[in-house]
Amino acid sequence: MNKLLLTILITAFSTSVAGQQAFSSLEEQMNGKEFEAAGLEKLTPDELAALNQWIRSHSLATLDESRAVTTGNEDARGFELKKLKDMPRTPIKSHLVGTFNGWDGQTTFKLENGMVWQQIDKDKFYVKAMENALVTIKPGAFRTWRLSVEGYKSNCRVKRIQ
């Protein structure tokens, strides 16, 4: 019972902090089994808050609204940040992480290379489920991007969110 109460308090505290800075804390990102398997339930609330703060300060997803990314050839300690809108407009090939069965007008695509893209049109396209599908993301007109899956002619407009 005490663990449940502690978890609720930590989650409530973390949620209010997370909401202020658009950050999902470890408690929000992990299910209970994952949280325990990582040994995080052993941390005091202050230790957990410090860990979440470290992740928040080192996470690309929580950098200000410029949504900066690394250019890929920087030193790990002092990397240069580049705004997404300034990203080179060259085709990207990568595999999707997990099962792909199409898009539905609001699909998020997580790539093996760490990029995350979100569908921005309302098109729908369904295929037989496949694992780790190879995708190509090409620059389109008016600074847009189009994602296509190898072996299919359909594509959808996407924007990079991470």
Flag whether pLDDT at 46 surpasses 70: yes
Higher pLDDT, 143 or 6: 143
Instruction: Quote the tokens at residue 75.
Output: 């030193």
Distance of CA 9 to CAs 14, 15, 37, 38, 142, Å? 8, 10, 20, 19, 47
Flag whether pLDDT at 153 surpasses 70: yes
Higher pLDDT, 33 or 129: 129
Residues 65-94, mean pLDDT to the nearest whole number = 56
Find out whether 143 and 86 touch, Cβ atoms under 8 Å. no
Flag whether pLDDT at 25 surpasses 80: no
Residues 100-117, mean pLDDT to the nearest whole number = 95
Residues 147-157, mean pLDDT to the nearest whole number = 95
pLDDT for 140: 87
Determine what percent of the chain is predicted with pLDDT higher than 90: 41
pLDDT for 69: 43
Flag whether pLDDT at 109 surpasses 60: yes
| Most confident residue range from 46-50, 69-73, 76-80, 118-122 | 118-122
| Torsion-angle region of 95 (φ positive above 0: left; ψ -120 to 50: alpha; else: beta) | beta
Residues 145-154, mean pLDDT to the nearest whole number = 95
